[in-house]
Every structure is written in C-alpha cells, then in structure tokens.
Structure 1
Amino acid sequence: MKIITVVGARPQFVKAAVVSRALQQHSNMHELIVHTGQHYDTNMSDIFFEEMQIPKPAYNLEIKESLHGMMTGKMMMGIEQILLDEKPATVLVYGDTNSTMAAALAASKLHIPVAHVEAGLRSFNMQMPEEINRIVTDKVSNLLFCPTQTAVNNLHAEGFTQAFYNIHLTGDVMYDAAQFYFERSAPRIIEQLQLKPGAFILATIHRAENTNNIAHLAAIVTALNELHKTTEVVVPLHPRTAKLINQLDIKPAFTIIDPVGYFDMLQLLHHCVLVITDSGGLQKEAYFFKKFCVIMREQTEWKELVEHGFATIAGSDTRHILTQANEFLTGSFTGEAALYGDGKAGENIANILEKYLN
C-alpha cells in the first residue's frame, strides 16, 4: 500500500519523522514524501531531513510564493499531478499550513482518502490562516488523528460524528519526537553560545498577527529587551521576522541567533529557564521539558496548558509579557506529560492506518 506524505514547513518535518519511523515497521506500507518547499532554506528545511534521518522527499515542488492563494493554488496543481501519477492508497497530512490544506483538497477531489495528524485543533480565531487551513482539512479528511481529548471534543462540538468520520485519540507525535530525539542530541549549541544552563529565556516570534503588525512587534521587542537586562533572552529568529525587526525604531538588545535545527532546539528547551513564544508547537515542547511558557497571542490551540497553569496568554502587550514572565521566573514547575499521551502516538497512527487501508 502506497502512502503519500505531504510536508512543507519545519514542524511538519518533525511530526513526519515520528510517523515515518513507525510506518517502516509495517512491511506492507510504502511511504513517499512530497516536500512543497514552503520552508526552503537550509536551516528551515534540509537540516531537518539530515538530522532526523527522514527519508529524502521523492518530490520537491519548490513553491516559494508569499501570497496564500497563489501558494496554495500552485501546491494543489503540483500535488494533483503527483497523485495522478502515483495513485496512492491514502494521503497523509500534518498540522495547519497551506501545504496541509492544499494536499487535503487535491486528494479529496480525486477521491483519495486523507489522514490528518493533529486534527481537531482550534484557536477560534478566524483571522489566523492556520485556523482556516485546519478547519478545511478536517472537513475533507477521512481519518482524523487527534492529539488530545480537547481536540476530539472540538470535532464533536462541530458535528463530526463517528458514523461519517474516523476520529481517533492517538496522543501527540511531538511528544514522541521530543522523547526520541533528545536522547540523541548533544549540548553543542549551549557550548557554542556560551549559555549558562537555567539562566536564559528562550523566545521565538513568527506569527503573522505579530510580524504583520508593527505595533505588536515593537511591543514584543520592548518586552524582550527589558527582560534581557536581568536574564539573557535568546531568540532563534525566523528570516522574515529578522527583516521586519530591522525596520523598527526600537532595536533589539537581546541575543539573536540564526534558526536552529531540531536537535539544537531541544537542547535550548532543556537548558532554558522560561519560554516566550507565539509558536503553537513550542508551547507544548516547553511543557515536555517542564518549562513555563508565556504565549504571545490572544488565544491558543493548546488550552489545556493554560487550564493547568503551565502556560499563560499575554498577547503582544509589553506589560503583560513582563508581568507573566517575571511571575513564572519565580515559580516552580510541577507536572507530567500525560496531557499529550504516552509517547506512542506514531505507533498508534501507523497501526490505525494499516487497519483502515486493509
């Protein structure tokens, strides 16, 4: 049975690595990877395939358009032709990117079953392109692999029923990845940057709601600058964000580094004292490594983190970011990773796929 996996952005490479490894344990399933090219520079793409030993993509569409409609349309055209040529038994997609939705739409129009990993996530903010992508993808998918009970509940609330959809609570593949790859990583990034373990804050900024709004971005830079006066703030900076920050009147005083590979990010998470981010995935990874997280958004898909006190929503307000960060810096983290399964999500997904396809 042939499975086409479509990826295009950094978090998807990590998730696909987990499931690809599990699929290799099933001799009757053959996976081909399609890379849309959505993240295309070396640190955002190639390094992940090399470090994580993900099978090299059978196809690379190299689509680098910036406009959502143009990008999605070109992806659909390229993926459709691959599906017509390869005739897979199913198409496997991850998360909530343009690559995810393009693949799901192309496959569903060809009546090829779609399996969606990270189904059911909702921020309830339709201004986010990711929210549109995940809703559309869920609607046209045949297999919905949910990382949490909250995600299952979201689908049920929207009228998804077991009679018409195959909904499965699998656990979170990112938890699998964090466990598996941290054991294979080394603290070279900590040594290279001469960071003191437990004495620096890890921050990332990349969401459109922050980078497309100069006022939001300036407020975030101001907050990180202020925190950096007492606790070093380290920011692996997305190329697009770096370009925008250079246009601000407020100059960053914190430590800026190039985007890092997954192994280095795991080490930064392990050794930091706090995480401040607008990333969805990094919120969970902070929890996996028992670090509090300040969320620089107005909502989160991972509301269980907030409900249990492991994360807080601060938006892009300078004062809120500082207040929440300082509270967490004096707090003590206690908690287990049971919120996201037992580290066998990839295995669960592969087993369900095999049963479904048979």
Structure 2
Amino acid sequence: MKIFLIAGARPNFMKIAPIARALDSHNPLTYKIVHTGQHYDQNMSDIFFQELGIRQPDYHLGAGGGTHAQQTARIMTGFEDICTNERPDMVIVVGDVNSTLACSVVAKKMQIKVAHVEAGLRSFDLSMPEEINRMVTDAISDLFFVTEEQGMVNLIKEGKPESALHFVGHVMIDNLFYQLKKLEEMDPETLPYNDFKQAHSDYGVVTLHRPSNVDNRDVFEGIMGTLAKVSESLPLIFPIHPRTRKNMEVFGIEPADNVHLVEPLSYMAFLNLWKDAEVALTDSGGLQEETTALGIPCLTIRENTERPITITEGTNELVGTSREAILNAFGRIIAREWKQGQRPKFWDGRASERIVEILKGERVKI
C-alpha cells in the first residue's frame, strides 16, 4: 500500500511527522511526503526535519502564494502530475489549509482514497477560509481521523458513515510530546530569546495573525491597546507574523514598551518560551490545543473556535476582541483563579499509532 502524506506549511509537518514516524515501523505501508510549497519558510532547514525525526519531502510542488484560487489551482495541477505518475493507494491530508482541499479534490477525482486527519472540526463561521476547506475536504473523504468527540458528532450529523469515523486523538499532541523530549536534550542557551525567558520569572506569549484581527485598523488598535494594559502586569513576548507586522507599519501602531516584538520563531524556540508562560494570548488554532495539553491558561482572541474541547475540558477561553473580556480573564489568571482543565481523551501521544493500525486494516481492502 502506497501512501502520500501531504503538507503545505511548517505546521502541517508537525502533524504528518508522527504519522511518518509510525509508518516507518510498518513495512507493508510505504509512503512519500509531498510538500506543496503553499508557504515558504526559511526555518524549514535540514535541522528542522532532523528535529521532527522525518526525512526531507520526496516531492516539492513549489506552489507559492497568491489568491486562494491561484494557490489552490497551482497545487492541484502539480499534485495531479505526481499522482498520475505514482498512482498512490491513499492520500492523507491534515488540517484545513488550501493544500488540504486541493489535494483531496485531485485524489478523489482520480479514484484515490482520501483520509483526513483532524476531520470534523467546525467553527460554523463561513467567513473563515479554513472552515470552507474543512467542510469540502470532509465532504469527499473516505476515512476520517477525529481529534475530539465533537468532531464525531459533527460528522454523524453531516451523514458520514460511522464505519469510516475513527476517534484517534490528536497527532499534534503526539508531536508536542516528541518535541518536548527533544527539547530536554538541547542546551536552551542555543535557542533564540532564551535570554528573555531567563530575565523574566513570569511572562506571557502572544500570537496574532487572523485577518479579522489584524486587517481592520480599529480592531487591531484595540487589541494592541489591551495587550499594552496586560503588559503593565506581565511582560509579553510576541513573535510577529509578517502580515501582522506589515499592518502594524501601515496603521502606524506602536507596541507598548513591555510588549516585546520578535521575529517569527522555529517550533522549538517558541515551544521553549510558551511551555513555561503564565498565559498565551492567541488567535491561532494549534496553540489552543497545545496549551490545553500542558495545562497552560490560554485566551483566544476570536469569537468562535473549531476546537471546543479546549474550552469544555481544557484551559482555553474565548474572549473575542473585547478589552473588558480579555482583561477580566487575565485578572483571573493572575489571581490564580483559572480553571485547572484536563487533557482530553486520547491526547496521550499515541494518536499516530492508532491511525497506522487502522491503515493496516485498510491495506487489506485495497
């Protein structure tokens, strides 16, 4: 059985890496890694793949940027060529990026089975491009690997056959535990901004990149003003996304003195910071889950989340962009009145092993 593992950007490699490592120990299942090149990332060096414990991609499509349609079209045509030449038995896509959608559609039209890892997540907000990618991918997938129980509920409501649904846990958490072990073996002094960590016994981390937060001047100024207020009590370190930095310059927004802007960080460098933070303030999806796995308070600067278990069981809370809501929640964290949370079911570092066991069963059918 020949499998293609699809990744379009650095976070996707965090998700396919545990699957690749699990597949390496199962000879009947061969795989190739396809990097669509959806995002160029200078941090994706040889060391990056060594840290993940996987080989370099077998294919690089070099899709690059552009509009959603332009990017998706380039991925589709490039991926169709290699599928024509290789004829894999199954294509495994992860998450909700344009590469996920593009490669799923190509594979399905070529009668190649599609497996979606992180299936069933829903924000029910069609203004989010990721939500459209999730819905379309799940509409045509053959196998669904689900991270949390609400994903199972969503897929059953959408009419997916229960025999195709597999609640396996979260490969991103598999990778988190793997990288934590790697981090223990490293000298933290070699990591960027470890000096910031050493200089501050308590601090918070910030990530902010969603268009709804950083493309609107009033919203962005409001968030930065709230972060300035937070930083009066707790220094913040903010690895800034290129989109966010550009808009900060366009809008003439200056960060407060205690909001420390730094360049985008590698996974290990950022993990070294956030794993010991007092709080994460974010609008990303993955950090909501990773902070829940390690029991770190997380304030999600969004009106909705496709990862509800981080709220119902974990340490995350939706605060929107409201200054009052953010500061109220932050006050409870500082006062040590925050919920303890718990690690969700199957977030135990073995999701990829469960996936591979299911794939071995599928091999018999193909």
Please give the TM-score of this superposition, normalised by the length of structure 2: 0.92
Aligned partners of 1:270 and 1:111: how far apart in 2?
43
2:363 matched to which residue of 1? 357
2:231 matched to which residue of 1? 228
Cα 1:240/1:149, change in 2 over 3 Å: same
1:182 matched to which residue of 2? 180
Q: SS where residue 32 of structure 2 aligns?
A: strand
1:124 matched to which residue of 2? 124
1:305 to 288, 306, 310: 310
The structural deviation recorded for 1:355 is 1.0
For the aligned residues, what is the CA RMSD? 1.8
Aligned partners of 1:143 and 1:168: how far apart in 2?
8
Within the alignment, does 1:275 sit opposite 2:273 as a pair? no
**What do residues 155-197 of structure 1 show as CA deviations (whole Å, max 9, x unaligned)?**
112222226xx11000111111111210111434453334446
Q: SS where residue 182 of structure 2 aligns?
A: coil
Cα pair 2:292 2:314 within 8 Å, conserved:
no
1:147 matched to which residue of 2? 147
Q: SS where residue 255 of structure 1 aligns?
A: strand
2:347 to 341, 350, 353: 341
1:1-358 equivalent positions in 2, closer than 5 A: 1-43=1-43, 48-162=48-162, 166-185=164-183, 186=186, 187-188=188-189, 189=191, 191-196=194-199, 199-253=202-256, 254-308=259-313, 310-331=315-336, 332-358=338-364
Q: SS where residue 171 of structure 1 aligns?
A: coil
Q: SS where residue 334 of structure 1 aligns?
A: coil
Cα pair 1:35 1:60 within 8 Å, conserved:
yes
Aligned partners of 1:303 and 1:153: how far apart in 2?
12
The structural deviation recorded for 1:93 is 0.4
Please give the TM-score of this superposition, normalised by the length of structure 1: 0.94
Aligned partners of 2:346 and 2:306: how far apart in 1?
13
Percent identity of the aligned residues?
Answer: 37
**Structure 1 unpaired stretches of 5+:** none
Aligned partners of 2:313 and 2:142: how far apart in 1?
32
Aligned partners of 1:318 and 1:329: how far apart in 2?
16
Aligned partners of 1:257 and 1:14: how far apart in 2?
22
Cα pair 1:39 1:45 within 8 Å, conserved:
no
Aligned partners of 1:257 and 1:280: how far apart in 2?
21
Aligned partners of 1:97 and 1:147: how far apart in 2?
17
